[in-house]
Amino acid sequence: MEIFLEILKYTFPALLMLLLAYLMLSNFTENEENRRRYYLRKETQKQALPVRLQAYERLTLFLERITPSSLLVRIPSKGLSASEYQSLLLKTIRNEFEYNLSQQIYISEEAWQMVVTAKSATVSIVNRVASQLPEGSTGAELSKKILEHAMELGTFPTRNAIHYMKSEAYKEF
């Protein structure tokens, strides 16, 4: 029994020290891993910030370009019937949207939904106004009616989306 107590007297402190060393080492490695992850995330954010801001810029430009006042000035209605002009406006909006489609991965889901909603609202307004015009109307008449309808709305959906994009972009800083 004395031999057992003698062995226990030497092994118990050694096991205790081994356990303490293990706990300290595991705590140290966990802290090091967290520190590495933090610096990696920080570096990634530093590289991603310009790309994210560029996405906000491109989508804001898209929203500005599909706002009726801007869209109708850029796309002349000369010599076109209302249906031809409607098709041209919708094609332009669709092309602009498809060009900027990849930007959705850099912004929040809420911001992307605002962009999609603004685009859909613009398309809806163009289609609604075009359907209300009498047969044989000109593109100039369609253009005028779209502008009138946009002015009646007060704040156009693209403005709301631009405002949301700006506030979200400011949060990045």
Q: Please name the residue that has the structure tokens 């030497």.
A: 10
173: confidence class by pLDDT, cuts 50, 70, 90? low
Residue 81 pairs in a beta bridge with 138
The domain spans of the chain are 48-170
Q: Which of 107, 111, 73 is nearest to 92 (CA)?
A: 73
The pLDDT value given to residue 119:
96
CA pair distance 143, 82, nearest whole angstrom:
8
Torsion 14-18-19-23 (CA) sign: positive
Instruction: Give the pLDDT confidence of 15-46 residue by residue, as tens digits.
Output: 899 999 999 999 999 999 999 999 888 887 77
Q: What is the mean pLDDT of residues 86-114?
A: 95
Integer Cα distance of 126 and 92 in angstroms: 12
Asked if 56 and 169 touch (Cβ cutoff 8 Å), the reply is yes
* Domain 48-170, second-level architecture: Up-down Bundle (1.20)
The pLDDT, as a whole number, for residue 20 is 92
* Cα Rg, the chain, nearest whole Å: 31
Quickly count helices (H) and strands (E) in the chain: 6, 0
How far is the C-alpha of 41 from the C-alpha of 37, rounded, in Å? 6
pLDDT tens track for 96-105: 999 999 999 9
Q: Per-residue pLDDT averaged across 65-94, rounded?
A: 93
Q: What is the pTM of this model?
A: 0.74
